[in-house]
Amino acid sequence: MRWALVKVCVAVTAMVVVAFAVPLGLVIRELARDRAFSNAEREAAAVAPALSITTDRDQLERVVASAGSDDGMAVHIPAGDGEQAVDLGRQRASDADVATVRGLGRASTTEVPGGFTLLQPTAIGSGAIAVVEVYVPQAEVGNGVATAWAVLSGVGLALIVGSVAVADRLGVRMVKPAQRLVESAHELGEGKLGARVPEEGPKELRLAATAFNSMADQVVQLLANERELAADLSHRLRTPLTVLRLNAASLGDGPAAEQTRAAVEQLEREVDTIIRTAREAKPQTAAPGPGAGCDAAEVVRERMAFWSALAEDEGRKVRVAGVERPVRIPVARADLAAALDALLGNVFRHTPEGTAFAVDVHNGEDAVIVLVSDAGPGIPDPEAAMARGRGSGSDGSTGLGLDIVRRLAESTGGDVRIGSSVLGGTEVRIWIQLDGGARTPLGRGHRGAMRRRGIFRLV
């Protein structure tokens, strides 16, 4: 593209230079010719007064010498009334041309070897017509023409070089954005998902860059969603794995029991590896689509029915509140179930047997709060626990359970906070915004703004 633009500019500039320089050069040549013959006419006119007065050869020679050089001027006086013809100077024109001019009575120009001659008829005292011949060399006719052509050629060449420079700069301005677009496309094809194109250059290339960046963002979003789905599905496998681990722990001693426990531990490690691999890049969760939602109370009752059976086996007391009436939230049923399973699974995984836990649902006008609390040892560093893809580091946790909960809350405009529970352990508060607008999360001292439904129920 760059060289094509340069070639076009060179061709256009060359045509413009030829269109103007050639006629101008021809005009300059004609002006030089006219100037040379005008000078010859003035020299011939300087002799005319003397011819009208006298035809004496000596006097005329002095006049010719003063008007021009002897080699450049000649005077032809015809014979008459007993007088002989007089020819002064070097004659270059033919006798026929001189006779023709004398007969016509008007000036004429004729070509001779080495240049031209101007034949100027002049009346003398006897009434006859004398002819003054002035020689104009070829060099004088073309005087200054070569210089003018050289100047015009230099100007034309300078214009062409200037047009090349301007076209090259314009070409660079157009080519660089296109090259960046090509390079970014190659980088994106090689898996560098952060490749983007600066929106610079001509309007068309800016639009192309905007379209490319939008496409790259969509690709990143799709890949992130795929990774997120793989991680979430893998994390949900930990719920039945927790049940298997608890059941395997109650098998007692023996080779079969040990093999079962080892197989469960290996399966847990494989699931953790899948989760970490799928979540290498930081994903982003799309907001729930129109019409998405579920009954939070129903989901809590369903998942608590599942976990209560395990709690009974381990001697854990369970408390549930606020689930007697429907509580609609803008969250998919499967996502809420996965978040609850992640939190309750952490309770069973990270607290000793016999540790009590509770799930409370608080329904307000613009938000719903789900509290999951336990009587365990608590979380010493809540910020580290909330960090994506990191657990405590000592128990092999992936740290993604709380991340799943956080993403669920933030998809509605809410948030997640970790604190101390009234049971003495950890309390995870899930703030789910109902209208998706600006949120004003409630602290522990503002719970009175929420309408609490139901009472505690011991299982």
Half-sphere exposure of 452 (CA within 13 A, CB side): 12
> In this predicted structure, what is the pLDDT of residue 272?
67
Contact 278, 231 (CB under 8 A): yes
Name the 3-class secondary structure at 455: coil
In words, the CATH class of domain 2-146 is: alpha beta
> In this predicted structure, what is the pLDDT of residue 391?
43
Q: What is the mean pLDDT of residues 266-292?
A: 55
Q: Give the CA distances from residue 413 to residues 285, 382, 383, in Å, rounded to whole numbers and listed in that order.
A: 12, 21, 20
In words, the CATH class of domain 288-458 is: alpha beta
> In this predicted structure, what is the pLDDT of residue 298?
93
Instruction: For residue 447, give the DSSP letter.
Output: G
Q: What is the mean pLDDT of residues 96-105?
A: 84
Longest Cα pair distance anywhere in the chain, in angstroms? 166
pLDDT tens readout for residues 380-407 = 877 777 764 444 444 455 566 777 788 8
Least confident piece of the model among 3-7, 310-314, 335-339: 3-7
Whether the pLDDT of residue 20 is over 60: the answer is: yes
Contact 39, 96 (CB under 8 A): no
Q: Is 72 exposed, middle or buried (0-12, 13-18, 19+ CB in 10 A)?
A: buried
> In this predicted structure, what is the pLDDT of residue 290?
43
Q: Is 248 exposed, middle or buried (0-12, 13-18, 19+ CB in 10 A)?
A: middle
In degrees and rounded to multiples of 5, residue 34 shows phi and psi of -65, -40
Contact 398, 268 (CB under 8 A): no
State how beta strands 426-433 and 415-420 pair: antiparallel
Contact 70, 59 (CB under 8 A): no
Least confident piece of the model among 165-174, 259-268, 293-302: 259-268
> In this predicted structure, what is the pLDDT of residue 448?
37
Whether the pLDDT of residue 93 is over 80: the answer is: yes
What DSSP assignment string belongs to 49-111?
A: HHHHH---HHHHHHHHHHHS-TTTEEEEE--BTTBPPEEES---S-HHHHHHHHHHTS-EEEE
> In this predicted structure, what is the pLDDT of residue 283?
43
Question: Whole-model pTM above 0.85?
Answer: no
Q: How many other CB atoms are found less than 10 A from the CB of residue 425?
A: 20
Q: Predicted confidence band at 300 (pLDDT cuts at 50, 70, 90)?
A: very high
Q: Is 64 exposed, middle or buried (0-12, 13-18, 19+ CB in 10 A)?
A: buried
Q: How many other CB atoms are found less than 10 A from the CB of residue 454?
A: 15
For all residues of the chain together, what is the average pLDDT? Answer: 77
Whether the pLDDT of residue 69 is over 70: the answer is: no
Q: What is the CATH number of domain 214-284?
A: 1.10.287
CA 80 to chain centre: 96
User: 417 pairs with which residues across the strands?
Assistant: 429
pLDDT tens readout for residues 111-166 = 888 888 888 888 776 678 888 888 888 888 888 888 888 888 888 888 888 888 88
Whether the pLDDT of residue 7 is over 60: the answer is: yes
Whether the pLDDT of residue 432 is over 90: the answer is: yes
In the chain, the amino acid numbered 393 is G
The residue among 271 and 283 whose pLDDT is bigger is: 271
> In this predicted structure, what is the pLDDT of residue 326?
92
> In this predicted structure, what is the pLDDT of residue 45?
80
Q: Which two tokens stand for residue 97?
A: 């041309």
The full set of domain ranges for the chain reads 2-146, 214-284, 288-458
Whether the pLDDT of residue 29 is over 50: the answer is: yes
